[in-house]
Every structure is written in structure tokens, then in C-alpha cells.
Chains A and B, each alone.
Chain A
Amino acid sequence: MKHDISLTVNGDTYHLSVEPWRTLNEVLREDLNLTGTKLGCGSGDCGACTVMVDGKSVSSCLTLAVEMDGRQILTVEGLAPSGETLHPIQEAFIEKGAIQCGFCTPGMELSALNLLKTNPSPSDAQIRSAISGNLCRCTGYNKIVDAIAEAGRRIKHPSKARR
């Protein structure tokens, strides 16, 4: 039996009818064509599918779409809604060379946002702990940690950030 749900993704509200076994990841990618959110392991280990639900980072592969009725979802596409100006986290990832193949990047950036919204000046250890649920197969962790620290500085002092 299908369930009718209304969910808001990156500010747009969608009314959908979903089968109970479908995940938020499938609905985002297949129904809404928001393919920025990736699917990696499908078991909550790799973090490639990370999105924010009501301001908290979750694995979209382990979230049933039927439970998203009335929820606010943010995906990587919503970090830069205009498509022209990037989010400070995205700018920092580019500047620090924190992107190699790019598959982990959407999840890494949302985990970074989840950390920086409450702690814009994290220590390296806090950053590493915050991304412990995000795997980078290119193993570019050092640059990702640098980028998240830089993004924190940009969020805290937007005018002082280096261009």
C-alpha cells in the first residue's frame, strides 16, 4: 500500500505517494532527480548518502521515505540554491583541494555543516570525529579536515575570508 507524504526539500514542497519500503535516498535520486546525494554502502557506514533532516545529519539510505512526511530536508543541492554563489563550505573545499573523485563530497559537506552550525571553531580532533561516519576512498582526509576548518573561519568572519 502506498503512503501519501508531503516533504520539503531545499525549500520546495513535494507531495508524493511512496511505497513503504522505499528510502529517502531512492526518492531524492529517482523521483526528485536530486542526484547530488549519493548511495554508497546502503548500511550507514560510508556517509555518501548524508542529508539533513530537520537540521540533523542522517543517512538517507537508512531513512524510510514514509517517515519523512512533514519534514524539512536539505541536500547538497540546497547548499548553493542559486547555483551561482557557493556555500562557504563548498568554497573552502575547492580552495583547499579537498575534492578528488568527488563521490564523498556531498556527504562530507553536509557532515561539515552539521558540525559547523553549532561549532564554527572546531579542533582537528572534533572535525575528524564529526566526519568519522564519512569515508573517502581517495583517502584525502587531511585536505578535507583543512577545508572544514577553513569553512568554519569563513562562516565566523565572512568578510575576513581569503578570496
Chain B
Amino acid sequence: MPAARFDYIAPTTVEAAVAALVEGGRDTRVMAGGTDLLVKIRHRMLSPKRILSLKQIAGLDAITVDKKNGLTIGATALLADVAAHKGIHRYYPTVAEAAGGTANVQVRNMGTVVGNLCNASPSADNAPTLMAMGAIVDIAGPTGCRSMALDQFFQGPGLTALKPGEIVTAIRVPPPAAGSGTAYHSLSQRGKLDCSAVGVGTLVVLKADRCKDARIIVGACAPVPMRTQAAEKMLIGKKMTDTLIRQAARTASEETSPITDVRASAPYRWKMVSVLVIRALTDARKMAVRKQ
């Protein structure tokens, strides 16, 4: 089969990239690491006339950790660099863990966190933790810049809230509140490399032994990574006992709507959501106790 053909451009500014995307329309696809886009082109799932690489835009690969402004991960920052970043390890350990658990070494040396989000796979390993931590997406487009909450960004499998001509420039995570803990647990057939069959990201904020705030995000069990709000509500304001965690986990599982596919069956996913929510809430509680 002959190779799919396309043109390649690499603008050096965000403005030029947006202009090229507006001019190119649907035939132009944005590429960061290329580890998903080039596979889709090779498998003929996409056939763009032109690839627009973001890699020549100076500063777009920046990672900054700041006590006041929180964490910013630029659009072309590599999964490997996020996983190894000292500041992220110290203040956002679960963000580093999720990036370090995505795909394999080679893909992490090419792929990006923002690219993983923009593909909008329901199983994206980086989405649950970032959503749980209240991450914000920075977007540049033909009418200027805007920001939106990550949990509003996903619209369906492969679909995002991006409008024509828009590019995600960074993902921002606010500074973690005092007494907050996070965790991410995922399951897949091989345990490494392959897409997660279930992924759960949690955030717990404790004051004394009471739960002040809680977020539970389940990946790969709905058309988008989803918040299980009924389960979250069960925890808020209460003492976080093992029994309460188990009850919340059961509720979280009931809120999801998994399908049976090559990675796992729906009944298995329902059971595993419950198991992983227990694990992730228990770990998040442990970290929250430490950070009080």
C-alpha cells in the first residue's frame, strides 16, 4: 500500500499556526508528538492534506511550577519530561505518575500530555488526574485566547470543544489546596503500553479527618472521562472511613456506562471501577493526611 501523502508546515509562532489552521480548514491537522496522528494516517483513519507541527514554536514545550500560579504544561512538553520533572514530582506527584504510565518509553519520548488530551480518547491516561485537580485548558484561536475547564473540554470519543482554527497552547493546574491528596489507578490487559480498560483519578481535601472536597474521575467507562458526582457528594462533609469509601465506590460504579470492547467487558469494567475507586480514594486520603 503506498504511503499516505501530505504536506508539512512548522510555523514558529502561535499566531502563524492559527492563521495556517484557519486557511487550511479541515484538511489541516495539528501535530504535537505525532504518536497518535501518524498512526491514524497510516491506518487510513485520517487523510489530511497538510500536517501543522507545533514543535517549532519557541516556548511551547515549557513546564513551569509556581507556588502562586500552579503548574503549566505547554502543548509540546513531552510525556517523559513531565514524568521526570522534579517540581511536578514534589507538588503534583500523580500528574507525573500518570504521564510516566502512558504508553511506553519511546512514545513518552515523542508524545505530549496535551496531545493525549486533544485526542480525547475516553481512556486517555492523563485526563482523570488533571480533571480531578481542576485543570484548565488554554486555547488560542482566530478570535483570540480563551480558557476552559478540562471537564468541559471533552465532548465524546475523539471530540473536543475546540472550534475551527483553535489550538490548545497549554494545560494549567491550580496549586493544590492544603490537606489535599491525589491518586491514579488504572488497569489494562498488559499492564504497560496498551490503553487502559479502566482508569480512576481522585482528589481528596481533608480538614482534620473530615472530607472538605472530593473529585472522582473515571476513564474508559463512558464516552468521555467522567466525574462521578453522586459518589463525590457522599464523601463531602463526612469522616472518610473505609466503609464510606466502599459505599462511594459502589455509587461511582453505578454512575458509569461502560461498553464491552476488545479491552474489557462492561460487567468487568463496572466491578473494576469500584475496586479502583476504593484504591484511589484510600491512596488520596493517605496523601491528604500527610499534607495537612
Contact = CB atoms under 8 A, between A and B. Distances in A.
A99 B113 CA distance: 35
A146 B57 CA distance: 43
B43 interface: yes
B192 A47 contact: no
By CB atoms of chain B within 10 A, which of A22, A50, A114, A132 has the most? A132
Nearest to B2: A21
A19 B34 CA distance: 17
Contacts of A44: 35, 39, 103-104, 106-107, 110
Nearest to A42: B42
A62 B105 contact: no
A63 B192 contact: no
B290 to A, nearest CB: 25
By CB atoms of chain A within 10 A, which of B39, B103, B104 has the most? B104
Interface string B1-26: 00111111010000000000000000
B106 A59 contact: yes
A59 B107 contact: yes
A56 interface: yes
Interface string B32-60: 00110011001100000001010100000
A130 interface: yes
B193 A21 contact: no
A1 B51 CA distance: 13
Interface in A3-37: 3, 19-23
A133 B6 contact: no
Interface residues of A, number: 28
A111 to B, nearest CB: 6
B105 A111 contact: yes
A64 interface: yes
A100 interface: no
Interface string B184-208: 0000001011000000000000000
A124 interface: no
A56 B80 contact: yes
A75 interface: no
A130 B38 CA distance: 23
B109 interface: yes
Contact of B8 (A59, A62, A63, A66): A66
B105 A57 contact: yes
A56 B39 contact: no
Contacts of B104: 44-45, 47, 132-133
Interface string A89-122: 0000000000000000000000100100000000
Contacts, number: 74
Contact of B3 (A3, A21, A58): A21
B48 to A, nearest CB: 11
By CB atoms of chain A within 10 A, which of B38, B106, B110 has the most? B106
Given A42-B42, A43-B39, A64-B34, A3 B105 contact: no
Contacts of A56: 80, 109
Given A44-B106, A44-B107, A21 B6 contact: yes
By CB atoms of chain A within 10 A, which of B5, B7, B8, B39 has the most? B8
A42 B3 CA distance: 12
B166 to A, nearest CB: 23
A117 to B, nearest CB: 12
Contacts of B107: 44, 59, 62, 133
A57 B6 contact: no
A3 B39 contact: no
Contacts of A21: 3-6, 8
A133 B105 contact: yes
B106 A50 contact: yes
Interface of A: 1, 3, 19-23, 42-45, 47, 50, 56-59, 62-64, 66-67, 111, 114, 129-130, 132-133
27 contacts: A20-B7, A20-B51, A21-B4, A21-B6, A21-B8, A22-B3, A23-B38, A42-B42, A44-B104, A44-B107, A44-B110, A47-B104, A57-B109, A59-B106, A62-B38, A62-B39, A62-B107, A64-B8, A64-B38, A67-B55, A111-B106, A114-B105, A129-B192, A132-B190, A132-B193, A133-B106, A133-B193
